[in-house]
Amino acid sequence: MPVIMKYVMFDDMVDNTGIHDNVSIIFPSFLIHKEMAKTITGMPVSAGFVRIVKGSKQDEVRAECYGRSESLGLRSREKDSVIITRYLTGVGY
């Protein structure tokens, strides 16, 4: 069964490699998007739910982002899945 959590994506932040990029926070679904967004300095650009699922290969995982945040009035974007998968797997860095 996939793990379902919430996420907020922030625009133009410097990640741990010094690259300006979208940066996400992923958190349990019982927390509120808006309250979590307040803890980060940055502009939220998208938010919703993220499902962490097994890929087609052994030990492969990927993120599937969907839905929206009522409290922030933001939707998930297609590219959020790619960005979060990249962070989880380290592929593309």
- pLDDT number for residue 3: 80
- pLDDT number for residue 60: 81
Domain ranges of the chain: 3-89
Rg (CA), the chain: 13
C-beta of residue 49 within 8 angstroms of C-beta of residue 31 = no
Rounded Cα distance, 17 and 39, in Å: 21
pTM for this one?
Answer: 0.85
CA distances in angstroms from 41 to 23, 24, 38, 60, 62, listed in the order given: 11, 12, 7, 32, 27
C-beta of residue 52 within 8 angstroms of C-beta of residue 88 = yes
Q: Tens digit of pLDDT for each residue in 14-69?
A: 656 666 578 899 999 999 999 999 998 889 999 999 999 887 777 788 899 999 99
State whether residue 92 is helix, strand or coil. coil
As beta bridge partners, residue 46 has: 9
Chain position carrying tokens 């959020």? 80
C-alpha neighbours within 13 Å on the C-beta side of residue 29: 10
